[in-house]
């Protein structure tokens, strides 16, 4: 029989520390597969964030720098300007990119740095125990909003992909997911397009991936994927924004 | 018509038993095992192996990259 699908050679043998069913594993796999297919293993520098995916460097066999909380886009800017021939991308969660790192992200987008931003939005702080994030949906229960998020007290969730799509430096903004085989295949195509944009020097590409955090949401992995389809997608609509 | 036959190989020690692959399979080939691996997780295994077409949906959604997929097509 012919092998039609196997583990990417860019994924290391380390077993990922993520909870069973975590979307991070799937997204790491897509990043590894895309870089492998483009033949850019020795040309790619990833910037890992603070959050669950802080250990991304243990799992994808490329060069990595681990940035201070929220500062991945600033570090990526420096790396890309010093090494313009390299492919530079950041991999950030919503707690990192849309909370403490909002300023760095918006300015990197506005400057149109030739980098790729991979933004994993699971609407919660997973690593620290499921606290409310800026992206938490209204009514969603978290460790710090046990009665559900209320707009009058906590403000509204915000859509950073729509915000950055208004900026001239950004060439490609898309929102994808990895909950089903079709969604995973589409997300991989979006990543490929983003990496190609960065190589062509077209500006910043912003790929948001709406993800599940089954431990933070207190659900099983399969339930979390269903909950995400019913509750996250109506607010965070999938598709290309720019 | 061509006949298609597929099969998968699950890395039992890497599998965490999340069950995402079970719902991704269009032919209900997979189920979680009754036994557990050395970490205490049940793992995905083929219970209707004859129905597998090697579509790779299970492997595509697997967060831990534990599934390899093989396929053979016979042209009639």
8 Å CB contact of B20 and A23: no
Q: How confident is the model at residue A238 (pLDDT cuts 50, 70, 90)?
A: very high
Where are the domains positioned within chain B?
Answer: 2-71
A98, HSE (Cβ side, Cα atoms, 13 Å): 26
pLDDT digits (tens, 9 = 90+) for A95-112: 999 999 999 999 999 999
d(CA A119, CA B47): 37
- A226 to chain B, closest Cα gap in Å: 11
Per CB-CB distance under 8 Å, the chain A contacts of B41 are 20
Partners of A173 in the β-ladder: A206
A185 is a domain residue:
yes
Tokens linked to B54: 């090697």
- Overall number of domains in chain A: 1
- A142 to chain B, closest Cα gap in Å: 22
d(CA A68, CA A48): 9
Tell me what pLDDT residue B74 has: 85
- A51 to chain B, closest Cα gap in Å: 18
DSSP of A32-81, one letter per residue? HHHHHHHT-GGGEEEEE-SSGGGGGGGTB-SEEEEPSTT-HHHHHHHHHH
Q: Which residue of A has its CA nearest to B16?
A: A20
A32 is a domain residue:
yes
pLDDT digits (tens, 9 = 90+) for A130-164: 999 999 999 999 999 999 999 999 999 999 999 99
Tell me what pLDDT residue B69 has: 97
Domain region containing A87: 23-240
A43 is a domain residue:
yes
d(CA B42, CA A22): 16
Whether residue B25 is predicted with pLDDT greater than 90 in this model: the reply is yes
DSSP class of A14: S
A13 is a domain residue:
no
Tell me what pLDDT residue B45 has: 95
Q: What is the mean pLDDT of chain B?
A: 94
Q: Which of residues 194-223 of A touch B (CB under 8 A)?
A: 220-222
Q: Which residue of B has its CA nearest to A188?
A: B60
Query: For chain B, how big is the Rg over CA atoms in Å?
Result: 13
Per CB-CB distance under 8 Å, the chain A contacts of B63 are 16, 18, 20-26, 29
Q: What is the mean pLDDT of residues A62-83?
A: 97
CA–CA–CA angle A151, A155, A158 (5° rounding)? 115
Option in B54, B60, B63 nearest A181 (CB): B60
Tokens 């992995």 sit on residue? A221
Q: Cβ of A147 under 8 Å from any chain B Cβ?
A: no
CATH match for B2-71 among 3.30.70.3270, 3.30.70.20, 3.40.50.11390, 2.40.280.10: 3.30.70.20
Tell me what pLDDT residue A240 has: 97
Asked if residue B2 lies in contact with residue B75, where contact means CB atoms within 8 angstroms, the answer is yes
Q: Of the candidates A227, A229, A209, A231, which has an alpha carbon nearest to the alpha carbon of residue A219?
A: A227
Q: How confident is the model at residue B50 (pLDDT cuts 50, 70, 90)?
A: very high
Alpha-helix runs per DSSP H in chain A? 23-38, 72-82, 94-95, 102-111, 151-154, 160-164, 181-200, 214-217, 221-227, 233-235
d(CA A173, CA A228): 21
A7 is a domain residue:
no
CATH number, domain of A103, equals: 3.40.50.970
DSSP H or E stretch at residue B58: helix B57-61
E strand spans, B1-76: 2-10, 30-36, 42-46, 67-75
Tell me what pLDDT residue B72 has: 92
Q: Cβ of B31 under 8 Å from any chain A Cβ?
A: no
DSSP class of A130: S
């Amino acid at each position: 029989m012919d092998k039609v699908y196997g583990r990417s050679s860019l994924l290391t043998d380390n077993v990922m520390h993520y909870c069973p069913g975590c979307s991070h594993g799937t997204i790491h796999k897509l990043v590894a597969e895309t870089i492998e297919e483009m033949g850019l293993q020795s040309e790619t520098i990833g910037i890992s964030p603070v959050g669950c995916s802080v250990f991304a460097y243990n799992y994808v066999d490329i060069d990595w720098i681990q940035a201070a909380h929220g500062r991945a886009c600033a570090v990526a800017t420096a790396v890309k300007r010093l090494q313009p021939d390299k492919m530079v991308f950041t991999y950030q969660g919503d707690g990192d990119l849309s909370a403490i790192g909002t300023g760095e992200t918006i300015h990197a987008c506005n400057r149109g740095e030739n980098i790729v931003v991979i933004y994993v939005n699971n609407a919660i702080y997973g690593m620290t125990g499921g606290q409310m994030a800026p992206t938490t949906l209204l009514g969603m229960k978290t460790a710090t909003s046990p009665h559900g998020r209320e707009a009058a007290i906590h403000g509204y969730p915000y859509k950073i992909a729509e915000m950055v799509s208004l900026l001239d430096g950004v060439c490609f903004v898309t929102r994808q997911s990895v909950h089903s085989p079709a969604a995973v295949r589409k997300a991989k195509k979006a990543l490929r397009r983003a990496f190609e944009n960065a190589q062509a020097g077209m500006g910043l590409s912003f790929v948001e991936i709406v993800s599940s955090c089954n431990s933070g949401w207190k659900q099983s992995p399969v339930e979390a994927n269903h909950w995400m389809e019913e509750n996250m997608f109506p607010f965070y609509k999938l598709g290309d924004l720019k | 018509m061509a006949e298609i036959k597929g099969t998968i190989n699950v890395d039992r020690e890497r599998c965490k038993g999340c069950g995402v692959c079970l719902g991704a399979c269009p032919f209900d080939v997979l189920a979680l095992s009754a036994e557990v691996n050395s970490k205490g997780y049940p793992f995905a295994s083929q219970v209707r192996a004859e129905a597998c077409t090697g579509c790779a949906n299970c492997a595509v959604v697997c967060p831990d990259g534990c599934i390899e997929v093989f396929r053979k097509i016979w042209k009639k």
